[in-house]
Structure 1
């Protein structure tokens, strides 16, 4: 366990302070993704059953008023389904931007070394180059993983909304 923590510390030192921010951002993003997945796979089923039960308990399911109540039920459940998906999408978009910020700060360090040493010594620039590339890589990995998860969540929400619309049938 100690070796694992030391490896993380070394990786963070090689990537700079921006890497910590990217790591925190990815951690929060995945917490939100897991919360949405749990809601979709576990808790939404009960809410859907309750909505269908309330709809079927109604005597009037064919009037304009009933259609409005149906639309309200669908909209309320859709709002619950979407939950934190917009926040997840914003965090996905933020990951590569923070990676770019890490690139810029790493390159500034490279230019500082070049200005101080007065030469293009590759060994003296290596630290800055790693601080430039590691945050970029981390931001892109976080964004890619988040894009796949956000796409899956969005697709599941659309599918659940369609199932709900089909289950709440309006009598004619």
Structure 2
């Protein structure tokens, strides 16, 4: 098993092989996962309080059958839905951005390959290999980041939908 210093060295070497665009992929992935973890924390800790507060406010109402009561119920559900689905669109946008940043790495890597070919000709495989690694590593990293984000954004979206449907079902109009 690698020690901490050896792991940092391996990561640094990987980042250097991928070129400067790999740092962009890393930044987008970091922001995306920060938002994902915030949503997981929200659902684990805060969402229950928001849902319980909406239920309590509804249960405290004496009258629940009028048009006005239905509008208040709709507003309560809307507020909780907005809280439940906050940042989901930003997460989806970052998921779509990851492969695009990776493709930018492909373009810059291929430019490095063509530069090496212009300077050294096609006989210097080492110079071309650096450009090829700069072309493939960011693309792969962007796709891996996007796949993890797709899974989690779908999971969060379903979680929010189920929670809002349960809230909607629990706010009965009987009384």
Q: TM-score range by the shorter chain?
A: over 0.9
Matches within 5 A, 1:1-172: 1-171=4-174
Which portions of structure 1, spanning 4 or more consecutive aligned residues, are displaced by more than 6 angstroms? Answer: none
Aligned-pair CA distance for 1:35? 0.5
Q: Structure 1 unaligned segments of length 5 or more: list them.
A: none
- Equivalent position SS for 1:65: helix
- Give the whole-Å Cα distance in 2 for the aligned partners of 1:93 and 1:120: 38
Using structure 2 for the length normalisation, give the TM-score. 0.95
Q: CA RMSD in A?
A: 1.0
Q: Count the aligned residue pairs.
A: 172
Using structure 1 for the length normalisation, give the TM-score. 0.97
Aligned-pair CA distance for 1:27? 1.1
- Give the whole-Å Cα distance in 2 for the aligned partners of 1:156 and 1:7: 37
- Give the whole-Å Cα distance in 2 for the aligned partners of 1:116 and 1:6: 31
